[in-house]
Structure 1
Amino acid sequence: MEGMWIYLIALLVVLLILYFWRQQQSCRNYPPGPLSLPFIGGLWRIGFGYREDTLIKIAKQYGNIYTIWVANFPVVVLSGFHVVKEGLVNHLEELSDRPLTPFFRDLGRTKGVAFSNGHLWKQQRRFGLFTMRKLGLGKKDMESQIEAEAQQLVEIFASEKGQPFDPSMAIINSVSNVICAVTFGQRFSLEDENFKKLIEGLDLGLKFIGSFSHALYEVIPWLMKHLPGPHKQALGISDMLFSLAKKKIEQHKEDTSYHEPQDFIDFYLLQMEKSKNDPNTTYDEDNLAQCIHDFFIAGSETTATTLKWAILLLTNHPDIQDKVHKEIEDVLVSSSICYQDLKKLPYTNAVFHEIQRSKYILLVGFARQSTKDMNLRGFCIPKGTIVIPDVRSVLFDPVQWETPEEFNPNHFLDKEGNFVAREEFLPFGAGVRVCLGEQLARMEFFIFLVTLLRAFCFQLPPGVKELNEEPEAGLTPPLHPYKVCAVPRCSSS
């Protein structure tokens, strides 16, 4: 019996050696990176205590193009401004696909805009861009809707009467209502229990992405689908959002309002009718529901998180807050706010850009997948390889930014105090997969924050010396919960 155990152990050791040797042979075809171990690949280098600067540190060791093996799957990471730009801009076609791993395939149903590829993605994205313009992005009607939501937020903040409160739920509700107006022409109240459940679920779902449970789902989906856990909750919220979209589509069809389109659903239903005889059309109700699903996930939490960071940073830096408020009061005469006003506010513009740079809302940029074999700076990246553009490494590149780790609006100002647009400012990505809602997000951020700063001076609660600026873990690293005092300004009374 003892001899049998020795034999089995020896056989296992030999198999592990063969497995390791084979894996090392595979690694030779990819850019260098951390040693790939059996079963876990190069994940040992990242560890369980993943930090924002983990990938940046790996790049310092292996170069700006390196490979991290996730079990048996190679993931090529692009780091630093020049390499990320070259990959996303100079290789548009090769890096146009989104990798559909098991979880994201279930989340996105391979439909819509965010989680689709090929002809379907191109048609849905082209229609999305066209319709966003039709709905008035950059025009006064859309700005008026955002301004109305911003005023609702002012009323909620004012009800706190300058006492410490957590602004998070009110902000996510107001931002989400902008998406509601764009997609199906309706807003929800803060007291709506179903809407509150949906928003809270989206927050939990985003925290799940990038977690250990998420990694398990990607590696052993056949088992995880039968086990309880946070993955069930994340996919359940996705199903709930998809069902809500389906319900709104049916209501629009019954009203037949889409012949005079007012929102995204109207325009889409009208396009479905026009394309019903086209054999190559991808316009159908499932794709429409998934597009709405994608808009909510991409457009609610991200903009809301940026606004929460803005309030936190301006509260911690009252001198910068005062300077922004003074510029707004000196320059803006009208009580109504127009996005074009941002051009008249160089310091405010610089502060807004620096908030988005210094508190980039993702751990890394969204992953791509190579559609064909490609060569990048002498490295061969085979077809089907997952490629991650580390946008954080661009926004914190010490070669490009004077003080990358600090909140410093001077990064976007010249010596005369004029605003300077920076090519290295890529919070919305680059290339053909650049954020579809970039213009809407910029407009929301500006109108919401200017409206709030006109109405309130944000201050630390009594006894609090500073709000925590360290993010928590997650795909969209959330802030630690905080409370702030929104003290009404005399001019707003």
Structure 2
Amino acid sequence: MAKKHGNVFTLWGGTQPVIVLSGLESIKEALIKHSEIFAGRPLTPFFEDVTKGKGILFSNGHTWKQQRKFGIVTMRRLGLGKKGVQSQLENEALQLVEIFAHAKGQPIDPSLSIINSVCNVVCALVFGHRYTVDDEEFLNLIKAIDYIIRFGGSFFNLMYEGFPWLMKHIPWPYKQAFASVDVMRSLARKETERHRAEQTMHEPQDFIDYYLLQMEKSKKDPTSTYNEENLFQCISDLFIAGTDTTSKTLQWALLLMVTHPDIQEKVQKELDDASQAIGYQDRKKIPYTFALIHEVMRYKCILLVGNFRLSLQDVTILGSFIPKGSIIVLDIHSVFSDPKIWETPEKFNPSHFLDKDGKFVDREELVLFGAGSRVCIGKELAKMELITLFSNLLRAFTFKLPEGVKEVSTKPVLGFILPPHRYKLCAIPRNSET
């Protein structure tokens, strides 16, 4: 459609115009040059009913600015990009390696083990502790996150967005969606009460501690938006945004190692030549592995489109007028498949993120995390998780298809999130220590 109508064009969702920005130039002009104008988030009927405009992901205006600023500052205090979070990630990596080792080279579905590890990273940051993989509350949390992600963009979700007045009278398709939201909120409420009872906020160790401390500091400020409702929604946002996308990207990475054994071998050689413990802080020692993780995010981009934006003022993008209040869709796949940007856009090629000397290049064209004032606050955490979990797995195992399986689908399951089809692989230990 962009080839026919240009890189800024309009689709209609019922009576609602939706403006699509296609290509790097239009997306950069909107998100960077006009960052504040496109800082709004449209609230569709379902997400309005679920979030009430609270938290970080679906809030706007003063609430969004306060919650987002708090989120960024707190992530830094918790050690994002530093040794604090890295030690937790290395612990999860060891747990994951152990689970794969128990399979003793037999076919396993890696999806559940991976999502358990990624979700536990968020649990440690938010709650201050991880769960055992058989904990009932933890399993219910995983199921709730999975259902909400699958519900988003589904037929029933679209029906709710188009006919909310009708759908509220026939609620049966939506009971599980709202019940899943309640599971996350209930756990957030329980953990908050535990933190209050233990009185840990004056020596804060996790997200809830810092938030409760901020609530106390701001209780006399009439402009403060720091309250329990925003806290519970922030926690839900962190789990929704930080669990499924990262875990599915790691699933893609392992699947691509199975289908590209030559690349897998090259990664393993680099890891073997590096230091014994591999983590985010070692990324300069493993440029090819780091480039590979970024190429997975490009080649098997986990999002159908970028998160929707709302134009807060009239503006012109590439000569096209966009009125205030327009819903904006970012066609990020148009950037990732552009032959003018990538040497081999249709192929899995880690060299897209390497210079001529083999050093990693962090390219602005990887717009998966957004840009400007709404750039994802968990961007660095996601990269830390991916590089730490992936590199530890590749150092310990060689991944192959089960005996007798000649090929596996590399097409995504269609939805707002684009995961791989369920698959099994064999994790073959590379040395006796494993």
TM-score above 0.5: yes
Alignment partner, residue 411 of structure 1: 352
Alignment partner, residue 485 of structure 1: 426
TM-score by length of 1: 0.86
AA at the equivalent of 2:353: F
1:395 aligns with 2:336: yes
User: Following TM superposition, by how much is the alpha carbon of 1:396 offset from its aligned partner in structure 2, in angstroms?
Assistant: 1.6
Retained in 2: the 8 A contact 1:108–1:114? Answer: no
Alignment partner, residue 297 of structure 1: 240
AA at the equivalent of 1:401: W
User: Following TM superposition, by how much is the alpha carbon of 1:409 offset from its aligned partner in structure 2, in angstroms?
Assistant: 1.2
SS in 2 for 1:368: strand
| C-alpha distance in 1 between matches for 2:358 and 2:203 | 47
AA at the equivalent of 2:271: I
User: Following TM superposition, by how much is the alpha carbon of 1:413 offset from its aligned partner in structure 2, in angstroms?
Assistant: 2.2
Alignment partner, residue 470 of structure 1: 411
SS in 1 for 2:423: coil
Retained in 2: the 8 A contact 1:391–1:429? Answer: no
AA at the equivalent of 1:155: E
The structure 1 residue matched to 2:213, chosen from 267, 270, 281, is 270
AA at the equivalent of 1:396: S
| C-alpha distance in 2 between matches for 1:230 and 1:296 | 23
SS in 2 for 1:273: helix
Alignment partner, residue 259 of structure 1: 202
1:64 aligns with 2:7: yes
Alignment partner, residue 458 of structure 1: 399
Alignment partner, residue 318 of structure 2: 377
What whole-Å deviation, never above 9, does each CA across 1:105-133 have from its counterpart, x for those lacking one?
12222100001000000000001000000
Alignment partner, residue 370 of structure 2: 429
| C-alpha distance in 1 between matches for 2:93 and 2:279 | 13
Retained in 2: the 8 A contact 1:325–1:453? Answer: yes
| C-alpha distance in 1 between matches for 2:173 and 2:420 | 20
| C-alpha distance in 1 between matches for 2:172 and 2:153 | 15
1:245 aligns with 2:188: yes
What whole-Å deviation, never above 9, does each CA across 1:266-297 have from its counterpart, x for those lacking one?
00100111111111100011111110000000
1:356 aligns with 2:297: yes
Quick check: 371-380 or 223-232, which moved more? 223-232
TM-score by length of 2: 0.98
Alignment partner, residue 124 of structure 2: 181
Alignment partner, residue 134 of structure 1: 77
Retained in 1: the 8 A contact 2:140–2:183? Answer: no
SS in 1 for 2:284: helix
Structure 2: gaps (5+ residues): none
The structure 2 residue matched to 1:325, chosen from 268, 279, 298, is 268
AA at the equivalent of 1:424: E
SS in 1 for 2:42: coil
Retained in 2: the 8 A contact 1:98–1:117? Answer: yes
AA at the equivalent of 1:285: E
Retained in 1: the 8 A contact 2:141–2:183? Answer: yes
1:83 aligns with 2:50: no
The structure 2 residue matched to 1:101, chosen from 44, 47, 56, is 44
Retained in 1: the 8 A contact 2:7–2:22? Answer: yes
What whole-Å deviation, never above 9, does each CA across 1:326-373 have from its counterpart, x for those lacking one?
0011122x3x33312111222112211111110111000000001111
| C-alpha distance in 2 between matches for 1:108 and 1:395 | 31
| C-alpha distance in 2 between matches for 1:209 and 1:77 | 19
The structure 2 residue matched to 1:155, chosen from 98, 102, 124, is 98
SS in 2 for 1:471: coil
| C-alpha distance in 2 between matches for 1:355 and 1:458 | 16
Give 1 or 2 for the bigger CA radius of gyration: 1
AA at the equivalent of 2:358: G
Retained in 2: the 8 A contact 1:149–1:174? Answer: yes
Retained in 1: the 8 A contact 2:252–2:419? Answer: no
| C-alpha distance in 2 between matches for 1:107 and 1:228 | 14
User: Following TM superposition, by how much is the alpha carbon of 1:62 offset from its aligned partner in structure 2, in angstroms?
Assistant: 1.2
AA at the equivalent of 2:184: L
Cα gap change, 1:321/1:492 in structure 2, threshold over 3 Å: closer, same or farther? Answer: farther
Retained in 2: the 8 A contact 1:368–1:387? Answer: yes
Retained in 1: the 8 A contact 2:147–2:180? Answer: no
User: Following TM superposition, by how much is the alpha carbon of 1:229 offset from its aligned partner in structure 2, in angstroms?
Assistant: 4.3
1:146 aligns with 2:146: no
What whole-Å deviation, never above 9, does each CA across 1:64-122 have from its counterpart, x for those lacking one?
10000101000000001111111111111110010001011122221000010000000
| C-alpha distance in 2 between matches for 1:338 and 1:149 | 12
Alignment partner, residue 45 of structure 1: none
Aligned residues with identical type, % of pairs: 57
AA at the equivalent of 2:180: I
Alignment partner, residue 447 of structure 1: 388
AA at the equivalent of 2:155: F
Alignment partner, residue 279 of structure 2: 338
SS in 1 for 2:21: strand
| C-alpha distance in 2 between matches for 1:491 and 1:348 | 24
The structure 1 residue matched to 2:306, chosen from 325, 343, 365, is 365
| C-alpha distance in 2 between matches for 1:398 and 1:155 | 41
Spell out structure 1 runs of 4+ moving beyond 2 A. 228-232, 413-421
User: Following TM superposition, by how much is the alpha carbon of 1:418 offset from its aligned partner in structure 2, in angstroms?
Assistant: 2.7
| C-alpha distance in 1 between matches for 2:98 and 2:297 | 26
User: Following TM superposition, by how much is the alpha carbon of 1:473 offset from its aligned partner in structure 2, in angstroms?
Assistant: 1.4
AA at the equivalent of 2:395: R
User: Following TM superposition, by how much is the alpha carbon of 1:491 offset from its aligned partner in structure 2, in angstroms?
Assistant: 6.0
User: Following TM superposition, by how much is the alpha carbon of 1:204 offset from its aligned partner in structure 2, in angstroms?
Assistant: 2.4
The structure 2 residue matched to 1:215, chosen from 158, 163, 186, is 158
Retained in 2: the 8 A contact 1:454–1:492? Answer: no
Retained in 1: the 8 A contact 2:96–2:114? Answer: yes
What whole-Å deviation, never above 9, does each CA across 1:173-212 have from its counterpart, x for those lacking one?
1100000000011211211233223212322221221122
| C-alpha distance in 1 between matches for 2:211 and 2:259 | 44
| C-alpha distance in 1 between matches for 2:377 and 2:187 | 22
What whole-Å deviation, never above 9, does each CA across 1:402-447 have from its counterpart, x for those lacking one?
2212111121223333322322111111111111100111101111
Retained in 2: the 8 A contact 1:207–1:473? Answer: no
What whole-Å deviation, never above 9, does each CA across 1:30-82 have from its counterpart, x for those lacking one?
xxxxxxxxxxxxxxxxxxxxxxxxxxxx2122111000010100000000111
Retained in 2: the 8 A contact 1:370–1:383? Answer: yes
What whole-Å deviation, never above 9, does each CA across 1:225-245 have from its counterpart, x for those lacking one?
232444321222012101110
| C-alpha distance in 1 between matches for 2:173 and 2:84 | 40
